[in-house]
Amino acid sequence: MGLSVAPSLRDDGGKRMSIFLHDKKTGGAGLAVSAEPILPRLLERAAQILDCRSDCTSGCPECTLRRDMQFELPKFDRIGALDLLTKDILPHLALPENLQIFGPKTRAITEDLSTYLARQINAGKLRRIDVILPDDPATWDLQDWSGLTCFTRAAGLGCQTRILIPEGSVAKLDISQRLDLLRVSARAEATIVEYRDMRHPAGAQVLAQIETVEGLSDLATTNSDAACLDRHWGEVAASPILFGQGKSIKEGPAVDPAALALVRGGNAVKFGIGKELDGPAARFGQKFWKLLDEQCPSAFRQDRSMIHITYHDRYLVTPLSVRLLSEVWQQMPGRQVNTQFSLVIGRTEGDPRDCTSFTHNWPDDEDRCGVIEALMPGIDIDLRNRRDCPHQRFFRLEYSNGKATEITLDQGFGPWVLALRSLRFDGQALPNRQAAMLKSAQLNITMQHGARYDSPVIIEL
């Protein structure tokens, strides 16, 4: 094996020295990778070697000096290295007792779980991955799940994939959550299985169970944010992922995919949108309502006035999606001058990129809300934390006769993308200027993935 040392920067900008262990053999021999799980033991052994019986200064044949290192002797500081290991490194390698959730053999993983799993998958070490969804379906956000990429890649590399959900949870899911679950299982070729009486370690949540040639292992966290199935799943910023011997899970029946796609309610109409709305964004609203009226004429009668409209969308974060919403609002049948419009949206959660494209997220909620208000004057915006928004993206249309219609857009306005992706947007301009730019832009849109999959719509009377 080879060794190198170089200066580097921590995430907070502080300086540090990094030690790199690497295979010398071309293409690698697998030694460096296999060293990771036993790194604490390796460092303890290094301390034993550095504790020289001859009490030398820089290194000698009794401790560190080897034939291939004899010319490096002037750089050695045996006493300093021993002092660093025994005082500053080894004391911090032992897990605190409250984190030893699997007993004394509990091991800490200090990289995000999705990164760790991706490395294990690429190395061909995993036979099976079970992702264990939390008990509360309100914390499931599969569309924003950070582990989706590595989970879907696993199936392509011959690793069995399963999604374990609490028994009886399907009945608690809205249609959007069920369809998200169905999409993920299809992409990852994963079986969905109900589990019974899942026993998590005290103060922790098991996120996944993996099977290797050595048996079952559980991967858990004590951080409640990292336990949610969203972009923060398996993060280690606040607490490491804890690794220990896995226990068999009491499994129920596999979930029938057809049950996830089932629309409940006798007055519901379900259909899919493919390429029907492709074309100029300026005609999107007109074509949208024409298509819905063709599918469910009784929902949009002209003999009643609309008094209140509410649209819920936790992912309304791009200029393009806001433009499409404004087109739908302007062409809405039955809308009066005094019709109220309420918008319930999720916060942007601090996207680090500048908004330089119509499909980039706004990094700033104040700018985003300013643009929406300029495009749709009089709108009432209810800005919430994303987890406090309904998962379902839907319109609720309330009429003067007390009747109401709900229109669920499974993926909101997200499935539509620009036909010409190189168009730029100035997200740094003042909100009024951004709104004018957005309104006047000659945009052509198309359904994502070439409309290979329809985007489901459900109308309920």
Spatial separation of the C-alpha atoms in residues 33 and 27, rounded to whole Å? 13
Spatial separation of the C-alpha atoms in residues 391 and 387, rounded to whole Å? 8
| Residue 303 shares a structural domain with residue 237 | no
Q: Report residue 339 as tokens.
A: 């019709």
Q: Which residue has the higher pLDDT, 374 or 33?
A: 374
How does the average pLDDT of the chain come out, rounded?
88
Amino acid at 351: D
Q: How many domains, the chain?
A: 3
> What DSSP assignment string belongs to 315-327?
T--SHHHHHHHHH
Q: Is the Cβ–Cβ distance between 240 and 99 less than 8 Å?
A: yes
Q: Is the Cβ–Cβ distance between 317 and 440 less than 8 Å?
A: no
Residue identified by tokens 């409940």 is: 264
| Residue 284 shares a structural domain with residue 354 | yes
| Residue 281 shares a structural domain with residue 168 | no
Whether the per-residue pLDDT at 266 is higher than 90: the answer is: no
pLDDT tens column, 389-411: 988 999 999 998 888 999 999 88
| Residue 23 shares a structural domain with residue 120 | no
Q: Pick from 9, 7, 33: which is nearest to 18 by CA?
A: 7
Amino acid at 237: A
Cβ-proximal residues to 364 (8 Å cutoff; 6+ apart), any chain: 348
Spatial separation of the C-alpha atoms in residues 102 and 200, rounded to whole Å? 10
Q: Give the number of other CB atoms < 10 A from CB of residue 114.
A: 19
Lowest mean pLDDT among 19-23, 118-122, 234-238: 19-23
pLDDT number for residue 92 = 76
pLDDT number for residue 267 = 78
What H or E segment, with its residue span, contains residue 8? Answer: strand 2-9
pLDDT number for residue 292 = 94
| Residue 122 shares a structural domain with residue 83 | no
What H or E segment, with its residue span, contains residue 39? Answer: helix 39-50
pLDDT number for residue 15 = 82
φ, ψ of residue 211 to 5 degrees: the values are: -120, 125
| Residue 431 shares a structural domain with residue 355 | yes
Whether the per-residue pLDDT at 117 is higher than 70: the answer is: yes
Lowest mean pLDDT among 23-32, 89-98, 252-261, 267-276: 23-32
The whole domain housing 17 covers 2-94
Q: Which of 94, 123, 139 is the last residue of a domain?
A: 94
Long-range contacts at 37-42 (CB < 8 A, ≥ 24 apart): 37/107, 40/93, 40/94
φ, ψ of residue 232 to 5 degrees: the values are: -95, 5
Lowest mean pLDDT among 39-43, 141-145, 151-155, 205-209: 39-43
CATH code of the domain containing 154: 3.30.870
Q: What is the mean pLDDT of residues 360-381?
A: 94
| Residue 168 shares a structural domain with residue 38 | no
Q: What is the mean pLDDT of residues 110-124?
A: 90
Residue identified by tokens 């601090």 is: 350
CATH code of the domain containing 391: 3.30.870.30
| Residue 30 shares a structural domain with residue 156 | no
Alpha helical stretches, state H, 123-227: 148-156, 175-187
Residue identified by tokens 């006493």 is: 79
| Residue 363 shares a structural domain with residue 431 | yes
Q: Which of 260, 281, 311 is the last residue of a domain?
A: 260
| Residue 59 shares a structural domain with residue 192 | no
pLDDT number for residue 72 = 64
Say if strands 268-273 and 250-254 run parallel, antiparallel, or are unpaired: unpaired
| Residue 331 shares a structural domain with residue 243 | no
Q: What is the pTM of this model?
A: 0.75
Whether the per-residue pLDDT at 75 is higher than 90: the answer is: no
Spatial separation of the C-alpha atoms in residues 32 and 24, rounded to whole Å? 10
| Residue 150 shares a structural domain with residue 275 | no
pLDDT tens column, 192-215: 999 987 778 888 999 999 999 889
Spatial separation of the C-alpha atoms in residues 260 and 212, rounded to whole Å? 31
Model confidence at 242, pLDDT cuts 50, 70, 90, reads: very high
Model confidence at 73, pLDDT cuts 50, 70, 90, reads: low
Q: Which of 260, 281, 310 is the last residue of a domain?
A: 260
